[in-house]
A and B are shown apart, each in its own frame.
Chain A
Amino acid sequence: MNVLIYLVPMALGLGLAGLFAFLWALKNGQYSDVDGAALRVLSDDDVEK
């Protein structure tokens, strides 16, 4: 069962990484305009003509 000594912290570390990714996205305003993001992805004004 010694494998748990590093498997449990690893699981926690991965979870924490996810948590910080979410908090970063929140702080960055990724959730402030959810409807707009869905529509912006369709516009191709960034494509060179």
Chain B
Amino acid sequence: MTETLDLSLYAKPAGAGTLGMELAVEGVACGGCIARVEGAVKNLPGVKEARLNFTNRRLHVTWADGTVEPAQILEALEANGYPAHPFVPLRAEQEEAATARQLTRCMAVAGFAAMNIMLLSVSVWSGNVTDITPETRDFFHWASALIALPAAAYAGRPFFVSAWRALKSRALNMDVPISLGVILALGMSLVETANHAEHAYFDSAIMLLFFLLVGRTLDHAMRRKTRAIAGNLAALKADTARRFAGDELVSVPVAALKAGDRLLIKPGERVPADGTVLGGTSEIDESLITGETARRPVTSGAVIYAGSMNYSGALILRVTAAGGAALIDEIEKLLEKAASAKSRVMRLADRASRVYAPVVHLTAALTFAGWLLAGAPLHDAVVTAIAVLIITCPCALALAIPAVQVVASGALFRAGIILNAGETIERLAQVDTIIFDKTGTLTLPEPRVVNVASLDPDLLQKAARLASSSRHPLAVALSREAITRKPFNGAIEEPGRGVRALVDGVEARLGSAEFCGIVHPSCSESDLSRIWFAHGARAISIAIAQKLRPDAVNVIRALAARGLDLRILSGDRDEAVEPVARALGIARWQGCLKPAEKISCIETLKANGRQVLMVGDGLNDAPSLAVANVSLSPISAADVTQAHADAVFLGERLAPVVDAVVIARRAHALMKQNLWLAAIYNAIAVPVAIAGAVTPLIAALAMSGSSLLVTLNALRGRRP
């Protein structure tokens, strides 16, 4: 039986008989890596182009069809110390890239227009107080109009489209007053210019667009960066599966699996797709799915789910649903219900604009009516009313929240937290109750050796090195203790029993008690798995179990110190949850919970006015994550779970949970400050505008001043 890797799924035609592929490359750290990675691939015959994007650690390769197998490219990279993983860019990522390009183009056009109009406007302002002739002023105003109108038509599209969409669905968003302000300012200026008037507001309108576009472009750039990192991590996680093609085994990416495929799953591998066992017996660990840490024996006919870990024997599986498409029915139903409940949360920005837009429009209307009643000519009343709209154009207001979001998501990103949605920050800030899942969230996702302190270090090192020859999950856990990962020469694995090798001329055995020749001591600890290691006459018993994340105790203490109510809701047995709760000092915990029971716990809390943050990783947590006000999951979580979490955190430590809360709280405070700053600005500027005392110069100063203030205030959120 030979094994070949089939990656044809990822190779896409790149024109003129060539194929192209995108790879996420690991281990790229410095400038030298660029040349080494590209060189390794370019040396292969038939490769036309290899270009590494250092910013997002992605390699684009094209080659002449039929010359190189994609698997060879991966091998060449692996041999040079850069493991690479093929992937298909997500549709969302491509759409976001297109939006980002459009925004950047709009910003460039608005920036160009703002600069040139300002050049003309400053001349007019200084001319107005000295000796400009009316003809020159008209010429400058017409030149401004010539630049402003096409520029606004192009650069204003993102705002106009969004405002139109909101109006069509009978709603108001921040883009409605922006669009109205810009269009009215341009229209009025055009009429004024035609009437040889002294003031025109082309510069205000374009500058407003420019500032807002800068904010939106930055916001988008930040989101794209985190999205790219998340995409790479997904590619790194994507596994291959061994599929039977006739009698031969072919390794294929999990994404290429179809229902009906037959797969071979060796011990120590994760089950890549939901399916029915056709042959073989084994024990599987379903902790990622149910939170249950005790293993379940399976044999022919058993149904197993993607994400389970196969422990002891090889299994043959018939795929029923590829890529975990079909979940456990119960979870799927709960998820549907939970997702519909969440969309009711209102964003701070929307709340602000819902109050703001009617107030502004009413003020402008009242100004118009007031001046008419006071006996002013129609022209003056219209001009003053429009000046009110221009001066209140929510530049500062529209920047107030996105600016903080950009800065805060940058800070979160540096703390190892990747947001799925921008408004997560607002919801995180209001959290007062945190619910933790146990398995994989408070504890490390993989089991660890727990009795290191009581073992002979020399024997432990030998055992760990021997363990690195086996893929059995217990051996993998043990091999993490090894200082040198080099396996012993000539190690032989006896399936289902253990590994043996000659170490320093004496036989060493690692595995079950009988395999190591040890009389089985009569102990049956439910949460511990034991393996034995014998080297000559010396022997040790190694205990392996779920272990708390290294900083869990400190993190829980830090969270409690911030006045948060902490709880554990676990699907695992009470005996397994209790010691964890005790070690962490969490008084409120519950075990043996089904997904529906977890949800009802969260809903009871929400009904009592609590803002709940759920931290969980299992498939059984996915509905709870969707139901909670806001949710976090570790990067090791099941794919479905990650998709329903508002944010994902990286690494082994639990510290990102504290960082998330701290950064979000500060960001929320800054958002509120910014809204107040914008409100104060309006409180000063609006009376001046109503009085009819606003000139274009005052409008320009007020607008840029308030935007600058708000942006600088947002930057205070940078430090973690």
Report which A residues bind B (CB closer than 8 A).
1, 4, 8, 11-12, 15-16, 18-19, 22-23, 26, 31-36, 39-40, 42-43, 45
B54 with A19: CB separation less than 8 A: no
Interface membership of B455, Cβ < 8 A: no
B34 with A15: CB separation less than 8 A: no
Q: Quick one: which of A12, A16, A26, A33 contacts B101, CB cutoff 8 A?
A: A26
- Which residues of chain B come closer than 8 Å to A35, judged between CB atoms? 54-55
B35 with A45: CB separation less than 8 A: yes
Q: Quick one: which of B55, B108, B112 contacts A36, CB cutoff 8 A?
A: B55
- Which residues of chain A come closer than 8 Å to B115, judged between CB atoms? 15
A40 with B116: CB separation less than 8 A: no
Q: If A4-B136, A23-B108 touch, does A42 touch B31 (CB 8 Å cutoff)?
A: yes
Interface membership of B48, Cβ < 8 A: no
Q: Quick one: which of A1, A19, A39, A40 contacts B112, CB cutoff 8 A?
A: A19
B35-66 near A? 1/0 per residue, CB < 8 Å: 10001000000000000111110000000000
Q: Which residues of chain B from 91 to 114 have any CB-CB distance to chain A below 8 Å in the complex?
A: 101, 104-105, 108-109, 112
A1 with B34: CB separation less than 8 A: no
Report which B residues bind A (CB closer than 8 A).
30-32, 34-35, 39, 52-56, 101, 104-105, 108-109, 112, 115-116, 119-120, 133, 136, 139-140, 143, 147
Assembled-state Cα–Cα distance A16/B146 (Å): 13
**Nearest A residue (CB) for B135:** A1
A36 with B53: CB separation less than 8 A: yes
A11 with B53: CB separation less than 8 A: no
SS class, residues of chain A in contact with chain B: helix
**What are 23 pairs between A and B in contact, CB < 8 Å?**
A1-B133, A8-B120, A8-B139, A11-B116, A15-B112, A15-B115, A15-B116, A16-B112, A23-B105, A23-B108, A26-B105, A32-B55, A35-B54, A35-B55, A36-B52, A36-B55, A39-B30, A39-B31, A39-B34, A43-B32, A43-B34, A43-B35, A45-B35
- Which residues of chain A come closer than 8 Å to B30, judged between CB atoms? 39
A33 with B143: CB separation less than 8 A: no
Assembled-state Cα–Cα distance A11/B163 (Å): 34
Assembled-state Cα–Cα distance A12/B146 (Å): 11
Supplied contacts A16-B112, A35-B54, A40-B34, 13 more A-B pairs, CB within 8 Å: A8-B120, A8-B140, A11-B119, A12-B143, A12-B147, A15-B115, A18-B112, A22-B108, A26-B101, A32-B53, A39-B34, A42-B31, A43-B32
A1 with B136: CB separation less than 8 A: yes
- Which residues of chain A come closer than 8 Å to B143, judged between CB atoms? 8, 12
B109 with A39: CB separation less than 8 A: no
A19 with B109: CB separation less than 8 A: yes
- Which residues of chain B come closer than 8 Å to A32, judged between CB atoms? 53, 55
**Nearest B residue (CB) for A12:** B116
Give, as a whole number of angstroms, the nearest-CB distance from B23 to chain A.
15
